[in-house]
Structure 1
Amino acid sequence: MSTHRPRIAAISTVIWKDKASHARTIVGKYLFGFNEDGKDPRPQSEVVSLYTHQTPPDDISREWSQQTGIPWFRTIHEALTLGTDELAVDGVMLVAEHGDYEFNDKEQKLYPRCELFLQIADTFQRTGRSVPVFNDKHLSYRWTNAKRMVELSKELDFPFMAGSSLPVNYRYPEIEFPQGARTQHGVVVAPGPIDSYGFHMLEAVQCLIERRAGGETGVAAVQCLEGEAIWSFLESTPWAQKLFDAARSCTQKPTPTHPRDDEKAALFRVWYLDGVETAIFRLPAAAGDFCVAVNVEGQAEPLATMMWRGRSDNRSFDNLILQADQMYETRQATYPIERTLLVSGILDLLLESRIRDHERMETPELNVTYEVDDRSFHVNLETIAPWGPAPAADGT
């Protein structure tokens, strides 16, 4: 690998001083090392400018600027040009998760990911040059915005990656969907808010089934169910029950609450154009971690695993940073942006189904197609990672 360290601009919504935020962890690891102690090991790229959309009294970005000597700018254009007339960075890290933003009637938090991205793209257009962009989590709460972001990246010809940390994190037990195998069904059982964690749930199964024969073909319809309709579906659908049980068997954080007693339970149903179906069970009180199960043609038992996230030393984002750094170094996206585009659209329309009396919605706009190769992008117990040994399955 080159000794040159790509120079990146860190564009964030907010970096709180005393509260956890994605930007505090991701940007913090770039500034202070993977262990956030000011020592090696460090990411391959280096942050050379900071911008935060919101600057409440407890925002730490300006304090970090003074501490490190890395300039903090009032505009995205200045952060990308370092106050000059030319693009002065090799990449952009956009972390627009957390901050004081409103919710809409679909319980989506209105993070300005698209708006900040458009300012980045505007600087690319003004300077006549573009560089790779990594966007943390989904592209936008609105499908049309997400689609425009991807279209713009292709028009301006720059590598673009996004998504959840789950697809690239540890799996317990270690599994991978066989490249080119056939599948019919997938199930996720997971906790959390319906929007922000719903995205993680959808990417957790998408990163497996996208490896199926024929690649990704797009989504035909979606539906969100709540209440007794969830359990009526489960009881009347043998494949869903089998995969639900397989997924739950992988949990490292069982809860005392029975799934039927979870008053905020929701079910995402997704029908793919090639006939694949998935069922994502959101159980805020009855699930403790992100568990996934998919069937594989020719195998008697499902592939099932817990996709690891979180513990006290913030290991969750480490491999996400490695994947972004690889893109900054090679100017090639590690995995397709279309995964996150499709999942962003699925989630938006699922939440639309929820407020439309849980109706099934046909989704011709989600005809997103793509293929992945046989590489696995997640870390595993055999991975020689710069931050050291793999975490325990239970997060300790």
Structure 2
Amino acid sequence: MKSYLEAVILDNFRNIKFAMLTFDRGLSIIYGNNAQGKTNVIEGIYLFAVGKSFRGAKDKDLIRFGSDRAQANIVFHDSTRMNEMCYRVFAEETRRKKELFLNRVKKKSMNEMLGNFHAALFCPEHLSIVKDEPALRRNFLDNAICQLKPTYVRALSEYAKVLEQRNSLLKNHEEYSPEQFESMMEILDEKFVDSGSFITVTRAKYLRRLFEYANKYMQDMTMGAESLSFEYLCSITDYGENNYEDFSYVKNTYFIRLADKKERERFAGLSLSGAHRDDFVIYLNGKNARLYCSQGQQRSIALALKLAEGELSRECTGEYPVFLLDDVFSELDKRRKEYIMSGFGDRQIILTTCEKNDFADVHDALKIETEDGKFRFTEGLERQFEYDLTEEEKEFRKSYVYSCRKE
């Protein structure tokens, strides 16, 4: 059975008092004016893929004004069963901690939830992958890889911890004798290099495969007129080298670079090299996309990267993720809009848009209108019962779909 998202349930989440939405196994379109709740639905779903708001919001920001808690649930299917996940947060004055559930079993942290539900998100903020600072590109890579590799999640956590310790030691080095400083730094450097090398190598391997797919999608979108490539900028090697996938090489180079920068780091009071300073440059037709691309081209690049992310997820898990495309049509030409609407029948896509004209000719989709945090099915509801469902699934759909219609 194909994996897919069955439903999302949002309770006092952002501007949504209560909503229960089921989705088509193919294309679902949520439309309405700006600031009505479309992106809030996408945010509520994507929480379960990466464990945090893609908007950078704190948990308290998810709570609807006047409420003391917010809750998001998703129901999704993998190849064997139906699953449910719950994310519940409370206002600070309640002094209650966040609650997380997987199939109604309480979990201690989001790390225990990650890897069960997979989604690839495109949103306007992802233009920053192309045009903004390196930290945003690293964050894009880390979010994608964390869904697929639990070992990578642990490596990031270990690296962040030892980086903080290392920076603290460098900043306060005058409080220690030279012997004490060297002894403590040697211990930290072993952990720093091990986790940092793993992160760098994993990113390099992921990027190589990502751009193989992204280039294919970009050429498809533009009928061969535009192609993508990249250059990995690793802070512990000289730019232009291409053996970042060799763990032994990267690890040895880490130690060499740390030794070379020992005095500079002590003077600066922070770590000057490492995975926290890596970056990559995107090229469109051989030119730096950050410098030479239009807004529409940057949006197309970000979309191609997200579609490629889905391919790598399929390679790893055997299934495509759910594609969440928020405000995807802005600044795209007609050809690229048609490509998105017609080219992915084997994938589940949930997209949002402001303009009805964007999908006027699309009839094989579920369409949901939103206004002021309320939702109404306007077309395609009958498709919800065309699938070969179990009795449990049929009852679930009926209760959720008709509850939504009453809203």
TM bin, normalised by shorter chain, reads under 0.3
Which TM-score applies when normalising by structure 2? 0.26
Structure number with larger C-alpha Rg: 2
**Greater share of residues in helix:** 2
- Greater RCO between the two (CA within 8 Å, min separation 6)? 2
